A and B are shown apart, each in its own frame.
Chain A
Amino acid sequence: MTQGPDAEHSGDPVVVTSAPTATRVASDYAFVAEGQIPPAPPPPGSSGPLLWVRENLFPDLLNATLTLITIALLVWMLPGIYQWAIGHAILDANSLDECRQRMDELYGEGERGACWAIINERIQQFLYGRYPEELRWRPTLAFLLLFPAAAPVLFSRPAQPILVFFAVVWAVWGFSAWWPDEGFDAMTAALILGPPLIALGLARIIPPVRRFLLVFSVLFPAVAYFLIWGGSIWGPILVVATPVIAYVVYWLVERMLDDTLGEELANTLAMIASIFAVAFWLLFGVAAVDEALTRAVADTRIPDRVAMLDQVIADPEAEDAARAAARRERSDLLALDEQRAEISGLRLALEKLSTESVATPEGAKPVADFVHEDLDASPELAAASMQALSPEDQDLAEAYQTTESRLIGEQTRIWTIYKNFGRVGIEQVESAQLGGFLLTLIIGVTAIAGSLPIGILLALGRRSGLIFIRMVAVTIIEAIRGVPLITLLFVASSLLNYFLPPGTSFDIILRVLILVTLFASAYVAEAIRGGLAALPKGQYEAGDAMGLTYAQSMRLIILPQALKISIPSIVNIFIGVFKDSTLVSIIGLFDPLGVIAPILADSRWQGIYAETYVFVAALFFVCCFGMSRYSMYLERKLKTDHR
């Protein structure tokens, strides 16, 4: 290390005193200094703000010019921007005309600034879309819970600031949301102060809490889904119970087969069985159990309801209309038994019919197959197949068709009644009502969370030694990365339904979520592949040397490290997906960009553009900038870990 000029002058000036034994002292010689010369102040301009200005603003001609040009540019632009955005802005008005009028009054004729009144008026739409007003606390709550849920997944240390942040936001929001209306009572106080206190407490004792938070992270999707969409509570609970099902099946099968087939095979088979069980559970089990539970609850509630209706009917003071409605409902409810009987009758009839078969030109065919295959085609084809039958067979097929559709109709109708009565849960909100920033968040969070497992699989596939699996992974990743997101959204909006079994249709938000998740998966896979590639080969070899299986060495050695390395890039992908979610406005969804169009169509605000765009841009900027800073912080953090 070289010594700078500072080092020579450092320390207190030391006065050299003459040694007592010496006969001649230094002062005897004219050329010997008696003491150290005190350090002179640096020459003017070599320190302090002036130096900074010279070194950083005007080091040479080129830079001086650049500085002057830049400053001139700023001086030219900033006042205008300030005036538009703040100086001459109007916060409160009912229409653009009123805005302009007030600007004329306040700032002088013809002076124009931003009319933030439109944002003021429509901010709820920008944030929530058409989400019912009285239920908006639900997505807000889900959003707040996202922070503690995301904390342990991201990294252990930031959990602390995030929890503190959560505590503060909750407290502020709680005060503003509940305090003024509800007044003070113990319940409100607990709601407002409880969660932040718990969070703060957790923040202090972070390590043992991590495990608890991790459980919460796992539960969060279900909680958020329930909060945002509402509806029956059984669905989320049953889906959360999936791991239990998987474990029980695994345990049972393993115990059953262990003795006969040997441990390894039993393990494998048990694993396969539990995968099938999970698939079956998610595809059919959840819906069936949900239905059964709902029916059970409805059965307990219907008698009460009938009793209540009886009261209304008996009540002499009730209005005629109310009494008539009650009577109608009562008869509907009491007719449920008859309907059930009808359903079983129809079912019997259908069974009887399905034993018959029709003579098609290709040969005899069970009537059920004929109806489901030949008639389930385009109208012309169906008519042609029908024509090819004998009149008796035509009647038979028609009878089958009508019986079946009546059965389905009756079943659905009775189920609708049950659903209304037996629902345990909160008010349902339809996907179509989601919008604004809420939609952006849903898309971003779902996509990144969903893409993690898929991305890990794809990344492992791409690095796999099995050539076929590698090929498939590469094809999927490159195909998705090679096309623009908008084409995938077109697929979501118009093609996805073609790829699913006939008649299946789920709403556009779900379709978009699927495609955006796939899109993010390909990018996450590449990020994780980068993490995998960055690990020294020794780590893989160490795993092999320990005799770990592929799954074990991935789970215990490779993935934890690789994921840690790729977290910053995953956060960056998240930012990208977050920004790209604005594209859904092109296929007609109401994200923050999508809600601008209907707002601008309002004749009161016609002629206003910049304010809405600037507001949405600012909204995105705050979020994305925050996240990108966070990702940089993580990167620095992780670098020190791998010194």
Chain B
Amino acid sequence: MATTEAADPRFAKGDRPEPSFRIEMLWTDARYRSLFLQIIAFILLMLAVGWLVNNTIQNLGRLGKDFNFGFLFTEANYDINQRLISYDSQSPNWQAALVGILNTLLVAAMGCIACTVIGVIAGVLRLSKNWVVSKLMLVYIEAVRNVPVLLQILLWYAVFIEALPKPSAFRAKADAEPEATLWFDMIAATNRGFYLPRPVFEQGMTLVGLTVLASIVLLFVFNWARKNYQNAYGAEMPGAMIALAMLFAPVAGLAIVSLLFPVALIEGGLAQIPANLGAAIGAQEFALLAKAAGAVLVGALIGLVLWRAPISSMRVLILFLPGVAVYYLLGEPMTWIYPELKGFNFMAGDDAAIYARNSLMALWLALSVYTGAFVAEIVRGGIVAIPKGQTEAAAALGLRANRIMSLVILPQALRVIIPPQISQYLNLTKNSSLAIAVGYMDATGTLGGITLNQTGREMECILLLMAFYLAISLTISAVINWFNERVKLKER
């Protein structure tokens, strides 16, 4: 096999291989070999696939089954407890599947946010010089990473249903106080889940929403303006200016908008401003006015402080200040209906209370805490990966600590952190399929669970289920690739 060319008799005789095609050139000649191999591989693959498909057809035939998705359009006949879209037992199976898919996406989104928060905090604290804190974080990370996530989900669920009171414990007895009370008189934590107060939007809430929206738009505009300013003058735009503009511009903008389109946009909410003011002054009640003024003042101060906050993401908070100000200015156009025990369960007034089921809470907490430990390691790794020289060089340039962090360390660390971070999000989403262990009705519970059982369409249901998860992961890997590509371009 390993003959050298010199020892090859063909070469010794001095005759060259014929240029014309011979059959053995298929595997000896590099020009043909790759094509030949690929064709063979293709044929083998097709044979294998054909074999599998043929087996499947035969097996289905023997059982008198067929392969069709018609069952998706027949009635599902079962109820689902948590639904983000309207659904009842008469809805078709595809709608049940959709309810499940949305539930998967909900818990995944909640989990991604929570695991990021937990992970970043734990990762940073793990690096802290504080011995107790860093060791505690080490214990958390190691304990959580080395225990199966399914077990953790079950544990959380068991804790919830065993440790929290039953709804009936909230009922006042004839001769005694109820055994359990609402948290802050707002939240009922029961072993069925957490009943939250339901917000009731009154006139003017649209305006508050619009203010927040305007703030978000403005943040982008100002970021852009700030960059231009810095490019033009070589110095940073004064922070106070931005903060104040951020605070008042939305309100002013809204006022102008509402003058132009008074009725349609604001539900008469703006009309209440003079009314409120008038009422406040006329009635000698300065409370409202003081509140509004106080809100603006405090908001401005907080805005200034936040703008100087070491972590730039804190600036996001500034977004909500104008909204808060407008909210108070309009006389708090939102009230809460607190949950109260009616019949078997808690209700908010006559409607159902907002209700985070224990299945959701257990799944969410377990997934976030579990994935958080991995995120913590990624964050720690990302920060450690930045050479110390970078910090020192930035310090030598005279940058302040927070600006070293935001301008030098984070941009580099994020490049290391984000790709594995995103794949942790992917893992979390995939792990959310363990929902069935606690009866959370996600895609695996509806499409791959009850629908499958009731229709007996294993093949179709499981294929659809896999396709759904595959679609999510392909989307996420596309995001990772896009990010890597972007980062790479910036590098050079």
Chains A and B directly touch (beta carbon < 8 Å): yes
Report which A residues bind B (CB closer than 8 A): 55-57, 59, 63, 66-67, 70-71, 74, 262-265, 267-268, 376-381, 465-469, 472, 478-479, 481-487, 490-491, 494-495, 497-502, 547-549, 552, 575, 579-580, 582-583, 585-586, 593, 609-610, 613, 616-617, 620-621, 624-625, 628
- Is A593 a contact of B148 with CB atoms below 8 Å? yes
| Distance in Å: Cβ of A235 to nearest Cβ of chain B | 25
Q: How far is the CA of A525 from the CA of B220 in the complex (A)?
A: 43
| Distance in Å: Cβ of B427 to nearest Cβ of chain A | 9
Q: How far is the CA of A494 from the CA of B430 in the complex (A)?
A: 20
Residues of A within 8 Å of B84, CB to CB, are none
Residues of A within 8 Å of B133, CB to CB, are 63, 66-67, 70
Q: How far is the CA of A628 from the CA of B142 in the complex (A)?
A: 9
- Is B130 a contact of A63 with CB atoms below 8 Å? yes
Q: How far is the CA of A67 from the CA of B130 in the complex (A)?
A: 7
Residues of A within 8 Å of B469, CB to CB, are 482-484, 487
DSSP class of A's interface residues: helix, strand, loop or mixed?
Answer: helix
Residues of A within 8 Å of B158, CB to CB, are 609-610, 613
Q: How far is the CA of A576 from the CA of B172 in the complex (A)?
A: 49
Q: How far is the CA of A376 from the CA of B459 in the complex (A)?
A: 21
- Is A487 a contact of B61 with CB atoms below 8 Å? no
| Distance in Å: Cβ of B47 to nearest Cβ of chain A | 13
Report which B residues bind A (CB closer than 8 A): 1-4, 24, 27-28, 34, 37-38, 41-42, 45, 52, 55-56, 58-64, 125, 128-133, 136, 142-143, 145-152, 154-155, 158, 162, 430-431, 433-434, 436-437, 444, 448, 458-459, 462, 465-466, 469-470, 472-474, 477
Given A63-B130, A483-B469, A624-B146, 14 more A-B residue pairs with CB atoms under 8 Å apart are A57-B131, A66-B130, A66-B132, A481-B473, A490-B448, A495-B458, A497-B59, A498-B55, A548-B2, A579-B149, A593-B151, A613-B151, A613-B154, A624-B147
Residues of B within 8 Å of A580, CB to CB, are 148
- Is A502 a contact of B41 with CB atoms below 8 Å? no
A586 with B61: in contact, given A484-B431, A487-B469, A498-B55 (CB under 8 Å)? no
Residues of B within 8 Å of A468, CB to CB, are 38, 41-42
- Is A494 a contact of B458 with CB atoms below 8 Å? yes
8 nearest CB pairs, A to B: A378-B64, A482-B473, A624-B146, A56-B131, A484-B430, A484-B433, A579-B148, A482-B470
Which chain B residue shows the least CB distance to A493?
B458
- Is A498 a contact of B60 with CB atoms below 8 Å? yes
Which chain A residue shows the least CB distance to B10?
A262
| Distance in Å: Cβ of A476 to nearest Cβ of chain B | 10
Q: How far is the CA of A497 from the CA of B415 in the complex (A)?
A: 45
- Is A377 a contact of B444 with CB atoms below 8 Å? no
- Is A620 a contact of B37 with CB atoms below 8 Å? no
Q: How far is the CA of A380 from the CA of B61 in the complex (A)?
A: 10
- Is B64 a contact of A628 with CB atoms below 8 Å? no
A380 with B64: in contact, given A268-B27, A609-B158 (CB under 8 Å)? yes
Residues of B within 8 Å of A57, CB to CB, are 130-132
Residues of A within 8 Å of B52, CB to CB, are 499
- Is A267 a contact of B1 with CB atoms below 8 Å? yes
Residues of B within 8 Å of A575, CB to CB, are 146
Partner of A486 from the list B63, B142, B433 (CB cut-off 8 Å) is: B433
- Is A593 a contact of B474 with CB atoms below 8 Å? no
- Is A487 a contact of B2 with CB atoms below 8 Å? no
| Distance in Å: Cβ of B221 to nearest Cβ of chain A | 35
Q: How far is the CA of A353 from the CA of B51 in the complex (A)?
A: 30
Q: How far is the CA of A552 from the CA of B2 in the complex (A)?
A: 9
| Distance in Å: Cβ of B449 to nearest Cβ of chain A | 10
| Distance in Å: Cβ of A374 to nearest Cβ of chain B | 11
Q: How far is the CA of A466 from the CA of B52 in the complex (A)?
A: 25
Residues of A within 8 Å of B477, CB to CB, are 478, 482
Residues of A within 8 Å of B434, CB to CB, are 484, 486, 583, 586
| Distance in Å: Cβ of B144 to nearest Cβ of chain A | 10
Which chain A residue shows the least CB distance to B56?
A498
DSSP class of B's interface residues: helix, strand, loop or mixed?
Answer: helix
Residues of A within 8 Å of B431, CB to CB, are 484
- Is B466 a contact of A483 with CB atoms below 8 Å? yes
| Distance in Å: Cβ of A167 to nearest Cβ of chain B | 27
| Distance in Å: Cβ of B164 to nearest Cβ of chain A | 14
Which chain B residue shows the least CB distance to A578?
B148
| Distance in Å: Cβ of B489 to nearest Cβ of chain A | 20
- Is A265 a contact of B24 with CB atoms below 8 Å? yes
Residues of B within 8 Å of A379, CB to CB, are 64
Partner of B462 from the list A487, A547, A548, A616 (CB cut-off 8 Å) is: A487
- Is A628 a contact of B145 with CB atoms below 8 Å? yes
- Is A466 a contact of B59 with CB atoms below 8 Å? no
- Is A70 a contact of B147 with CB atoms below 8 Å? no
Q: How far is the CA of A620 from the CA of B147 in the complex (A)?
A: 6
| Distance in Å: Cβ of B428 to nearest Cβ of chain A | 11
- Is B55 a contact of A500 with CB atoms below 8 Å? yes
A494 with B462: in contact, given A57-B131, A264-B1 (CB under 8 Å)? yes
Q: How far is the CA of A33 from the CA of B45 in the complex (A)?
A: 92
Partner of B37 from the list A466, A491, A579 (CB cut-off 8 Å) is: A466
Partner of B146 from the list A66, A380, A483, A620 (CB cut-off 8 Å) is: A620
A378 with B437: in contact, given A468-B42, A483-B470, A547-B4 (CB under 8 Å)? no
Q: How far is the CA of A226 from the CA of B128 in the complex (A)?
A: 52
Q: How far is the CA of A548 from the CA of B2 in the complex (A)?
A: 8
Q: How far is the CA of A585 from the CA of B433 in the complex (A)?
A: 14
Q: How far is the CA of A186 from the CA of B473 in the complex (A)?
A: 62
| Distance in Å: Cβ of A85 to nearest Cβ of chain B | 14
Residues of B within 8 Å of A583, CB to CB, are 150, 434
Residues of A within 8 Å of B45, CB to CB, are 472
A466 with B34: in contact, given A57-B131, A376-B62 (CB under 8 Å)? yes
Partner of B465 from the list A59, A267, A467, A487 (CB cut-off 8 Å) is: A487
A586 with B28: in contact, given A472-B41, A482-B473, A500-B55 (CB under 8 Å)? no
Residues of B within 8 Å of A579, CB to CB, are 146-149
Q: How far is the CA of A180 from the CA of B45 in the complex (A)?
A: 59
Residues of A within 8 Å of B24, CB to CB, are 262, 264-265
Partner of B38 from the list A263, A467, A478 (CB cut-off 8 Å) is: A467
Q: How far is the CA of A476 from the CA of B132 in the complex (A)?
A: 46
Q: How far is the CA of A502 from the CA of B54 in the complex (A)?
A: 10
| Distance in Å: Cβ of B358 to nearest Cβ of chain A | 14
| Distance in Å: Cβ of A408 to nearest Cβ of chain B | 17
Partner of A617 from the list B42, B58, B128, B155 (CB cut-off 8 Å) is: B155
Q: Residue among B143, B147, B462 with the most chain A CB within 10 A?
A: B147
Q: How far is the CA of A22 from the CA of B472 in the complex (A)?
A: 90
Q: Residue among B146, B444, B474 with the most chain A CB within 10 A?
A: B146
- Is B462 a contact of A502 with CB atoms below 8 Å? no
- Is A263 a contact of B3 with CB atoms below 8 Å? yes
Which chain A residue shows the least CB distance to B473?
A482
Partner of A381 from the list B42, B61, B145 (CB cut-off 8 Å) is: B61
- Is B437 a contact of A613 with CB atoms below 8 Å? no
Q: How far is the CA of A57 from the CA of B131 in the complex (A)?
A: 6
- Is B55 a contact of A582 with CB atoms below 8 Å? no
| Distance in Å: Cβ of B344 to nearest Cβ of chain A | 23
| Distance in Å: Cβ of A581 to nearest Cβ of chain B | 8
Residues of A within 8 Å of B38, CB to CB, are 466-469
Q: How far is the CA of A625 from the CA of B142 in the complex (A)?
A: 7
- Is A501 a contact of B55 with CB atoms below 8 Å? yes
| Distance in Å: Cβ of A633 to nearest Cβ of chain B | 15
Residues of B within 8 Å of A466, CB to CB, are 34, 37-38, 41
Residues of A within 8 Å of B466, CB to CB, are 483, 487
Sampled A-B contacts (13; CB under 8 Å): A59-B129, A67-B130, A263-B1, A381-B61, A468-B42, A469-B41, A484-B444, A498-B59, A499-B56, A500-B59, A617-B147, A621-B146, A628-B145
Which chain A residue shows the least CB distance to B135?
A70
A586 with B437: in contact, given A484-B469, A609-B158 (CB under 8 Å)? yes
Which chain B residue shows the least CB distance to A472?
B45
Residues of A within 8 Å of B131, CB to CB, are 56-57
Residues of A within 8 Å of B63, CB to CB, are 378
Which chain A residue shows the least CB distance to B430?
A484
Q: How far is the CA of A273 from the CA of B242 in the complex (A)?
A: 78
